[in-house]
Structure 1
């Protein structure tokens, strides 16, 4: 019997929400930490209540620690992770600006599209899906294009690859290029050191390793980036600053995503811009609190162990992982769909009979790989073991000769070795 049949009462009225108990083991979103769900139910206060502005200040400091930065301008953009991307790009780009986008998966194409919509002169370089760029490739493109901005994804869940960033910031600095990164899929489960890697702007979301729902986009901006976007003209309450207008560039095309206006809203002035999404702020605050309470290095280690265990289990079942494993994200693995196995039928059976969701893929990988995530609240041993055992059962139902129990055994070995090595919460 389908779940949809339970959505109405006998009198035809809609029933209360009662979604099935899914275990979300795809590339995101994932199951939220229980404490995050509780935080979202907290009662509201006014947006200028000193309690609320105090929470906003706490969120700014919490995310400085999450991002590993001293950037004053570290705050939330209300909206999904794409809202953070748009805010950075539309605020930074003036028509005709050169933007360089290295593409190694679907979300590089997204950055390029948003930059094009902001009327940038977009230049792209690409590697085959499953690979990443070397610093030398990026520097060569910067020398050729001479862009104002480099926009790159750190972890692209469409390919499960993690782009190394730590050498790119110095390259951008040497060539006077602003360095922006979308780290939505990687933050919290993989190292990200904003200041040490000389990143000028980073935007993320909550729905991956940070263990929250989609709907809030933490961002952080360097002083250099802030100085640049504050030269852009914008209108506050319909009043033009004529004295400074001549020194400013064209106004930012979006009111909602105008970063100088949002910075004034979060700053000491508290200039009205929008009504803060209070429940999502509570949520983002708790995501950061959990991350820092567990300890950033411990959280990353937990994600690495969970990812290693899932990878070992997949390989022990006779399945082939996708891409360059030297650059695989800790929190998601791509898996080639075996010949003769109906990939979508496997996903449907896992979802409808085992209550486990794994992901499909896009573009050149559509129908060729599954993507299995181990992130946030689900980067834990029981979730890994349950997913591996259930996948083995479903594959056997399709006639695939998976060695009985080998996947779970391999994952258990990874966890045992991690515990013996003293890895926290392994």
Structure 2
């Protein structure tokens, strides 16, 4: 057997729906030395990370921490720890990841109810309220930003509806956190999870989570199976969390002051998650959201300047990703391959009802910046011309540059008293 050499990834500009190019300092943070999981440096880094993510989420929740694993690990931990078999879970669906929440709830043996709207729309708050009244759910699970459709579901009013009708409110903010407003406390979230690989500008592999006191009470009421012995004596089997790794009750004990052993923390991913949050708060939450908005507006103007049709309700689009319809006669996969092979730029395909119909182009995290947007639009124009599409020469770059120029002018203008 001939051993391969050291791994050497090619240079890529990741402008798809995620993962994206990580901030250089996040990658650098992962190369730091490992320490023991109970080393004072390590436990202090965990405490710092918790405090930083309270700022990211907009919460005072003590139970703010990381679940080791990709963003889906956070979703599964929340669902399996908050839901008992037979509990009613309501999932408003407006894209692929709503279907994912429903599937995970079903695997937790919940009684799952869904309401759906066509891809490219968001679910009206009135429809959510009607379903809550009708279903009487234990939990409402709602994606905030669904990259499959690029839509951003309004959450601001849902928490009050859930509180009024006695339901827990959970949101998957994997694709939206950091690049779009998210106010866990002000919006009445009981649980929210995310990942690093989108607007937070890190690698996939760590799932930030925040839990309200109400959610923690539900989690603490669940029983455990340890060393084959059921705690709490004659507790019903439905009381037991059906996972050890994703049992948030045990994970909370590990991150809490007792530091009860549950797993060995993924040290390098902790470093990465800490740096993602530190960078966001150092720049300022509102400033980061504004940067994503400007880059997203520029990309939107740019693809429209190339004559491309934007998919979905633009008024409810995420700041950080746009879906464009593939022009008639252009082979979508071949064009994406040309972007990658000739320019080192990755844009996204799609799936479900949009498979083969749209490209998804992201502007998030480290790549929510002017040079990344203009470079991508220039390459896309070249590829479109190669495959016979008629697009205005320089139309995309100029339209996007106008947005950046306008934003720069606005930011340098004196603020009115």
TM-score range, shorter chain: over 0.9
Q: In 1, Cα distance between the equivalents of 2:39 and 2:314?
A: 50
1:298 aligns with 2:287: yes
| Structure 2 CA distance for partners of 1:423 and 1:218, relative to 1, 3 Å | farther
Unaligned runs of 5+ residues in structure 2 are none
Q: In 2, Cα distance between the equivalents of 1:340 and 1:297?
A: 41
Distance apart, 1:238 and its partner CA: 5.0
Match of 1:202 among 192, 210, 213: 192
Q: Deviations over 1:98-155 (max 9, x none)?
A: 0000000000000000000111000000000000011111000011111100001000
Partner of 1:398: 387
3-state SS of 1:422 partner = helix
| Structure 2 CA distance for partners of 1:165 and 1:329, relative to 1, 3 Å | same
Distance apart, 1:248 and its partner CA: 9.3
Matches within 5 A, 1:155-194: 155-194=145-184
1:379 aligns with 2:374: no
Partner of 1:227: 217
Matches within 5 A, 1:100-111: 100-111=90-101
Match of 2:30 among 40, 43, 46: 40
Q: In 2, Cα distance between the equivalents of 1:168 and 1:423?
A: 37
3-state SS of 2:239 partner = coil
Structure 1 length as normaliser, TM-score?
0.95
1:275 aligns with 2:264: yes
1:357 aligns with 2:359: no
Q: In 1, Cα distance between the equivalents of 2:160 and 2:265?
A: 36
| Structure 2 CA distance for partners of 1:164 and 1:297, relative to 1, 3 Å | same
Q: How many pairs align?
A: 413
Partner of 1:6: none
Q: In 2, Cα distance between the equivalents of 1:394 and 1:112?
A: 38
Q: Is the 8 A contact 1:233 1:249 kept in 2?
A: no
3-state SS of 1:395 partner = helix
Q: Is the 8 A contact 2:223 2:235 kept in 1?
A: no
Computed over aligned residues only, the root mean square deviation of the Cα atoms, in angstroms, reads 1.4
Q: In 2, Cα distance between the equivalents of 1:413 and 1:126?
A: 38
Distance apart, 1:371 and its partner CA: 0.1
Partner of 1:323: 312
Partner of 1:135: 125
Distance apart, 1:17 and its partner CA: 1.2
Q: Deviations over 1:25-48 (max 9, x none)?
A: 000000010000000011011001
Q: In 1, Cα distance between the equivalents of 2:316 and 2:336?
A: 26
Partner of 1:63: 53
